[in-house]
Chain A
Amino acid sequence: MDDRKTPLLDELEKGDWPSFVTEIKRAAAKNKSAADLLAQLESSYEENIGHWKHGGIVGVKGYGGGVVGRYSDEPEKFPHIKEFHTIRVNQPAGFFYTTKKLRQLADIWDKYGSGLYNLHGSTGDCILLGTTTENLQPCVDELADIGFDLGGSGGALRTLSCCVGAARCEKACIDSMQIIHDLTLHYQDAIHRPAWPYKFKIKVSACPNDCAAASARSDLAIIGIWRDAIRIDNEAVRAAVDNGFDIFNRVIRKCPSEALLWDTEKKELTVCAEDCVHCMNCINMMPKAISIGREQGAALMIGGKAPVVKGAMLGWVLVPFIKLEPPYTELKEIIDKITDWWADHGKNRERVSELIVRMGLANFLEAVGLKPLPQMVHEPRSNPYIFWNAEEVEKRG
């Protein structure tokens, strides 16, 4: 173990929450780069500033992404993190692991890297945190031997991720794990060899609770919904109400479209299916009594992203309902049309939603062959600045 002192970081070993400092120290006990990481972080805490240099492009043979290069700006002081690159390893769908696989992964990373991880990165990858340029290729080769491929980085399709879905959730309208596994295999080239104006993310949540935060964090969010009526077991509703559940305040009053009717005398709950906007609240509140409808599929939401450059966006409705069964041909056609149009027209570092706003949603819809639908907007435009083309005007007089 290193004899350098870390009084500021030692403070963060106190308290009830599990400590990342303790984890770095455990790795540092047998790994010099983890020890240097700890020491460099202590100096960041002393000086209120980070100590990583800008960029640096590193990678492995055959791929244009999956590795994020990182160099210390004080290599003479912290020689073992002179190079401290991250490897993004594509996680299994739903973040399920056997202990056998995890231990194999850890053995390889102890051999080639710092012994530190992020489980997991925000996009979903299993992050191997810190190794040298020299170790990248042999490490990735051994990861391949145990069945782990790299994830995405750069102007590519990024690693797909999803909620736990049908594996363990009664609310799953679509098989989120199967969808991302299938798409991940289908789009291996797009993931590994960046060919687009910027990043493109796909996330799948199997119901509108959106446990994968797909609409906020992916350019294409696939969110499970149903289009018939919710199913109500009134026996179970009565049991909950008789047990003291406040159905009026927690369910009826919270229904955003006032689609639920509660007959106090008969103690009977009914739904007006046309009014329901499948928000999930009544199902979340009464999981034993209310369940999703039978005609299940997904809504596709386009455009979610963080602020840079033109402001943060939440994905908005592109396709209100699509059936999703393997091999997901229709879905893949839509994805291909979107990314082709974006690759043709997008500027350098322009996300797909920024391009759509720049060129107009109507133009985008025409390019990808989708009809305008009222579900796509909260409300129609309020200004009269409408584009007409000459052909249209002539034809309709």
Chain B
Amino acid sequence: MARTDFGPPDYREMVPPIIKENYGDWKYHTVPRPGVLRHVSNSGAVLHSVRVASPRLVSSEWIHDICDIAEKYCDGYLRFTTRNNVEFLVADETKLEPLLAELDEKDYLIGGVGLSISNVVHTQGWIHCKSAVTDASGITKSIMDEMTGYFTGKQKVPARLRIAVACCVNMCGACHCSDIAIVGIHRTVPRINDEMASRICEIPTTVASCPTGAIRPNPKLKSVEINPEKCMMCGNCTVVCPAIKIMDPVNDGVSIWVGGKVSNARTAPMFSRLAIPFIPNEPPRWSTVTAAVKNLVEVWAANARDGERMGEWIGRIGWERFFKLADLPFTDKHIDDFTHAKTTFRSTTQFKF
């Protein structure tokens, strides 16, 4: 029997000596140039973190490439960020410029720190998920090719802006709380293979999976039936019952959401809200999606005050002006018709003792 239940490697064996020595004793940090953090400890120690972009989906060769760099400049230590960037941890200040030069030469994109558009948190898409309505990697690459200047700091933004892509409404990742989110959606009612359902589906679980109560048992066929008028095509029933199919290459696509945030700074965390109900899938470049995201970024960047995130900017000007400035139609799809209990719970760490 193999060894089990021993957990991950101990982080204390994974951090460079400078971090071990100054753990919990950092005084402040500055951003001397885009993509570089300079951390100063109370003891006077200085650590530089150099952040570079990653496609997240990587090969063994890529891992060896970044290990080569970390061994040359960082004594073999590196880390990843919560947005899937790579950080090279430079304890020897004299190695900083040579590292930056080598990264530039090898076309790594240095950036994603502070006032920038950092990496896109995204999901599996057609690369590995059965529920994917769109491809997350392809949309991410297409958007970030347009946003590279904002990542590297060549183009300025008034505040940080987070983009996330989820390939279905399960929204793995933090799409529901991102400045701009792209979410895959269906628009047609699922089809049921009754014979298959009678063999492999647990009927009560399938009925209970529906947020709108559109599914009821069909005892005659030992299957279920869907009331098309109550179905909003979330696809959750297809997750629990493989005999229900919803994929529709013609009518599936993506929606775009804006104004979410997670941080408690200035304003409480916010949910992303619907901006564009539907755009068809257009691989490989998703040009309509990419143009829409670019428009949203540019409208926000041109109008927001310094330090004002997308949701805060919209909060100040109001949704009515947002739709006007962003040149987006407001439709019946934008009006919520789902339940909103729990709105009185305090979903922020902003409170008084």
Contact = CB atoms under 8 A, between A and B. Distances in A.
Q: From DSSP, what is the main secondary structure of chain B's interface residues?
A: loop
B5 A192 contact: yes
B59 A115 contact: yes
Nearest to B120: A17
Interface in A92-109: 92-103, 105-106, 109
A70 B79 CA distance: 29
Given A215-B348, A375-B346, 10 more contacts: A15-B145, A21-B141, A26-B61, A98-B13, A164-B81, A192-B4, A280-B263, A306-B170, A310-B211, A375-B352
Given A52-B128, A215-B269, A93 B24 contact: no
A276 B14 CA distance: 37
B242 A307 contact: no
Interface in B19-65: 19, 23-24, 26-30, 39, 47, 49, 53-64
Contacts of B10: 92, 181
A209 B267 CA distance: 11
Nearest to A174: B24
A363 to B, nearest CB: 14
A380 interface: yes
A258 interface: no
B126 interface: yes
Given A215-B347, A308-B236, A349 B209 contact: yes
Interface in A1-30: 8-9, 11-12, 14-24, 26-27
Contacts of B23: 166-167
B179 interface: no
A129 to B, nearest CB: 6
A55 B243 CA distance: 12
Contacts of B145: 14-17
A381 interface: yes
Contacts of B353: 227, 274, 320-321
Contacts of A389: none
Contact of A48 (B125, B128, B141, B252): B252
B176 A116 contact: no
30 contacts: A12-B285, A17-B144, A20-B56, A24-B57, A27-B59, A44-B135, A49-B249, A96-B78, A99-B71, A102-B67, A115-B61, A117-B59, A130-B128, A141-B2, A144-B6, A166-B24, A168-B39, A209-B264, A209-B265, A210-B262, A246-B306, A256-B350, A285-B307, A307-B169, A308-B234, A308-B239, A311-B339, A316-B346, A317-B345, A357-B341
Nearest to A225: B349
Contacts of A276: 352
A274 B351 CA distance: 10
A284 B56 contact: no
Contact of A98 (B76, B82, B124, B343): B76
A288 B28 contact: yes
A26 B351 contact: no
Contacts of A93: 8, 11
A348 interface: yes
B80 A169 contact: no
B277 interface: no
B283 A307 contact: no
B340 A311 contact: yes
Interface in B211-264: 211, 234, 236, 238-240, 242, 247, 249-250, 252, 262-264
Given A116-B59, A312-B171, A63 B4 contact: yes
Given A23-B57, A315-B347, A84 B8 contact: no
Interface residues of A, number: 151
Interface stretch (A183-191, A263-271, A325-333, A334-342): A183-191
Given A149-B8, A312-B171, A120 B84 contact: yes
A220 interface: no
A370 interface: no
Interface range for B: 35 or more
A279 interface: yes
B228 to A, nearest CB: 19
A119 B80 contact: yes
Given A19-B141, A215-B347, A314-B177, A129 B57 contact: yes
Contact of A11 (B84, B148, B285): B285
A220 B239 CA distance: 25
A10 B137 CA distance: 13
Contacts of B138: 12, 45
Contacts of A213: 82, 174, 177, 262
A140 to B, nearest CB: 7
Contact of B176 (A19, A225, A312): A312
Contacts of A153: none
Top 10 A-B pairs ranked by shortest CB distance?
A15-B145, A54-B242, A316-B345, A48-B249, A314-B347, A277-B350, A208-B264, A99-B67, A166-B24, A17-B144
Contact of B19 (A44, A168, A209, A225): A168
Interface in A55-110: 55, 60-63, 70, 84, 86, 89-103, 105-106, 109-110
A379 interface: yes
B171 to A, nearest CB: 4
Contact of A23 (B59, B79, B124, B140): B59
A362 B24 CA distance: 38
A115 to B, nearest CB: 4
A216 interface: yes
Contacts of A321: 353
Contacts of A22: 55
Contacts of A353: 342
B28 A287 contact: yes
Contacts of B15: 94, 96, 167
B82 to A, nearest CB: 6
B122 to A, nearest CB: 9
Interface string A26-54: 11000000100100010011011111111
A20 B141 contact: yes
B266 interface: yes
B339 A254 contact: no
Given A91-B8, A217-B173, A309 B236 contact: yes
Contact of A281 (B62, B151, B265): B265
Interface in A262-310: 274-281, 284-285, 287-288, 299, 301, 303, 306-310
A376 B125 CA distance: 37
